[in-house]
Every structure is written in structure tokens, then in C-alpha cells.
Structure 1
Amino acid sequence: MSDAEAFIRAHTAIARPALVPELRLHLATEITPIWQATEAWLAEEGIEPPFWAFAWPGGQALARTVLDQPALVAGRRVLDFAAGCGIGAIAAALAGAAVVEAAEIDPLALAATRLNAALNGVAVATPDGDVVGSACRWDLILAGDVCYEAPMTAHILPWLRAMAGGGAEVWIADPGRAYLPVAGMELLSTHLVPTTRELEDRDTRQVTIHRLLA
């Protein structure tokens, strides 16, 4: 077991996301303790929040869609972009995707995804580094809850549109974040996702899944 995996096991518990109870994931119950533990373990301040320790509404909506409609992913090459805990990737693998990758710039998120994939008995590849700028090698890209900051959106959106123009289907699942683009989107579905006041300012979030147009 790697040090990262040991850290994740020590600071999370196995839980079932509210909208996708058929999955089991290593999740934290509170954000402040896991954030402080991560800073202490890495011995640095100003690190990225431990987004990987929670099943965010966008990821849950994508996973629910994939599991309910496996024909949408069966036999396809799928990327879970900014995967967090890997919930979308795991659902795609369970639904019969031919190849599944989970992309993250946080090494702890990649370790969490590997642990969670093993917990659910599926194979998910976790390439190192930022995939933004890579040539398209996927049929479907799942992006859950990625438009929460202006710099993040500005970094990823041109590449995601290029992926849509290069032959990939790109789904963006968003629970009402401030920087979701208003143009070049085709609504696919809406989902009401239970959440907690620990993470959000309300008990549920309405998540929209859009197809991003080139």
C-alpha cells in the first residue's frame, strides 16, 4: 500500500453516495478535518482542497445517468475529467465502457480513485499530469462540477470544446456554479441531488447535464 493510500484509508470511511447507493467510496464526513490533515501530511499550506474526499453533486448525477443508461457508455472509451473520487469513472466501468481513464492533477485524487475502483471491482486507468492539451483519444468525456472558479473554467473550456470538435461527446454536469458557460450547451437532463450543509448552502442541488458543443 502506498503512503497516499494509507493516508486516505486513515482519514475517510467507506460510504455510499446518496444518489448512487450501489457504489462504495472512501469519503470524508467533514471538510475541515480532512483539509487540515492533508496540509499537515504534505507539510505545506495553500494546497488544493481535498475535493477527492467527497462525492460532489455533479459527479453523482453523471454516475446515476451512466448506471441508469449503460448503453450510453457501453463499449466506448471514457474519460472522467477532474475526476475527484472517481465516481464517474467507476460508474462508466460498471456500465461496460471499453476503456476508462480518470484525469486529475492532484496525486491524492488519483490514489483515491484507484482505491475506490478496487473497492467496486473495476479497472480505471489514472494517467499522471494534466491532460488538458492532450489529443483526443476518447469517445465520451464526463466533467462533473468543473466550473466553480473563473481560472479553472478558462483553463479547461477551450480544450473541452476542442475535444467536442475532435469527435468526443463532452458532458458537463453542473449544480449551479457561477462560471458555467451559457452558450454552446445542449441540455440533456436534470437531477435533484441530496447534499449536506457541510459542503453546500442547501440540502439539495439541482444538477443539469449539458452536452458541450464545439
Structure 2
Amino acid sequence: MKTDPERFIVDNTSILSPPHVPEIRLRLATEAHDLWLKTEEELEAIGLPPPFWAFAWAGGQGLARYVLDHPDVVSGRSVLDFASGSGLVAIAACRAGAARVLAADIDPWTETAVRLNADLNEVELDFERQDLIGTDRGWDVVLAGDVFYDNAFARSLVPWFRSLAARGAAVLVGDPGRSYCPKERMEPLATYEVAVTRALEDSEVKRTTVWRFLP
């Protein structure tokens, strides 16, 4: 039986504000482990990935906080929120006055999650479900929260981010100390202590840095 994404998301999340970004409301899982298991049981048969869209990850919270506190970074500019997940960072960019915001993620359910969350916050943004690594549409700003968790994925991102930065884009990354974060290729802009859940992380607070990629 086909599972309806919107119904599943509404039934298995609550409307909450991430601890570090209380201005924004999202549909989030309240019991991470239970939702993870339910997703595996109900959706594994149709090949859907784990519900990363149901959590406000530390890197995204830190990056969203930075954008809201420094609206000049995105105000009046075109913005890509890469690997958008819940859409938290994209929504923050909209709130901070971005001219156009594109949220992109390859997870087939993220589009629904981002749409529901954008509606909750009364913002308008675009969404694309495709792998944009290596592409350049002239975005002024590229935002990426918590993307350096996997070695192969990180190695694919570094040359793309460097290329975007080299032609003048502001490439900002929120990272809570993931193993494959290329710190030597970036400059730190801000650091936050972000509350997270032990069901997903190894602590209740993650020290999260917002970095700017160097060309």
C-alpha cells in the first residue's frame, strides 16, 4: 500500500520550534528513535531513506541562527539551501530577506516536509529534488547545514564549494564537529552551543561553527 507523505509527516510529527531558532516553527519528530523505526518498518519496502527531514540538526540550527542574526548575508540575494532537510535554513534565509530561495534535497519526502514547514512560517520558496553537486546557476549565497558526515560525500562537495567561492558566491556551512569537515579550507564566522537530542547525537549540546568556504 502506498504511503502518503503528507499524511505520514502530519501524523508522526509535532509543530515545534528548534531550541536555537525559536522564531521558526517546524514539523519535527518528538521521539526520534520511534519515528526512525516506524519509517524503517513502513517505508523500507519502497526504498525511502531515514527521515532526516524530521529533525533540526545542529549544523542547520547554527547556520539558521547566523543567517537570522546577520541578514545582510542573504538580504536581496539569490540563495541555495543545499541538502535542505526540514527546510530550516531556507526558511531562515526567507525570513532574513533573501530575494529568491531554492531548497534542494534528493530525499523524495523532503519536498513535502519543506512545503509544510514553509507554510507554517508563511514564506515562499522553491524546491528541487535533484543532485545539484557540480552545478552553478549563479547563486549569490550557498548554505549547507551539517553536510560533512560522510567521507565520500564530503570529498564530492569540496571542489564544488571551492569553485562556487572562487567565482564570488558566499558559501556558508554549519558544522557541529563532523569527522570530515574540511576546516583548513574555511574561515570561522561564529560558534554556538546548540541543544540536540541524545537519540541522534553523542551529547545533549553540540558546539557548532558556521564557516565560510575559501576560494
Does the alignment pair 1:203 with 2:196?
no
- Aligned pairs for 1:1-214 within 5 A: 3-44=4-45, 47-214=48-215
Mapped to 2, the partners of 1:162 and 1:129 lie a distance apart of 19
Mapped to 1, the partners of 2:26 and 2:43 lie a distance apart of 23
When the two chains are superposed, the root-mean-square deviation of aligned CA atoms in Å is 1.7
Q: CA deviation at 1:206?
A: 0.7
Amino acid in the other structure paired with 2:211: H
SS at match of 2:125: coil
Amino acid in the other structure paired with 2:33: T
Gaps of 5+ in 1: none
Residues 175/43 of structure 1: CA separation in 2 closer, same or farther (3 Å cut): closer
Mapped to 1, the partners of 2:41 and 2:167 lie a distance apart of 42
SS at match of 2:188: strand
SS at match of 1:112: helix
Mapped to 2, the partners of 1:162 and 1:11 lie a distance apart of 40
CA contact (8 A) 1:86 1:102 kept: yes
Q: CA deviation at 1:65?
A: 1.1
Superposed CA offset, 1:13-58 (max 9, x none): 1111001111110000222322233234434387532111000111
Mapped to 2, the partners of 1:193 and 1:23 lie a distance apart of 15
Amino acid in the other structure paired with 1:4: P
Mapped to 2, the partners of 1:12 and 1:166 lie a distance apart of 40
Runs of 4+, deviation exceeding 6 Å: none
Mapped to 2, the partners of 1:143 and 1:30 lie a distance apart of 25
SS at match of 1:158: helix
Mapped to 2, the partners of 1:26 and 1:62 lie a distance apart of 19
CA contact (8 A) 2:107 2:129 kept: no
Amino acid in the other structure paired with 1:147: F
Mapped to 2, the partners of 1:163 and 1:36 lie a distance apart of 38
Identity %: 50
Q: CA deviation at 1:5?
A: 1.5
> What TM-score does the superposition give when structure 2 sets the normalisation length?
0.93
Q: Number of residue pairs matched?
A: 213
Mapped to 2, the partners of 1:103 and 1:167 lie a distance apart of 21
Mapped to 1, the partners of 2:162 and 2:43 lie a distance apart of 34
Mapped to 2, the partners of 1:30 and 1:166 lie a distance apart of 43
Moved more, 106-115 or 34-43: 34-43
Mapped to 2, the partners of 1:186 and 1:175 lie a distance apart of 15
Gaps of 5+ in 2: none
Moved more, 114-123 or 60-69: 60-69
Amino acid in the other structure paired with 2:143: L
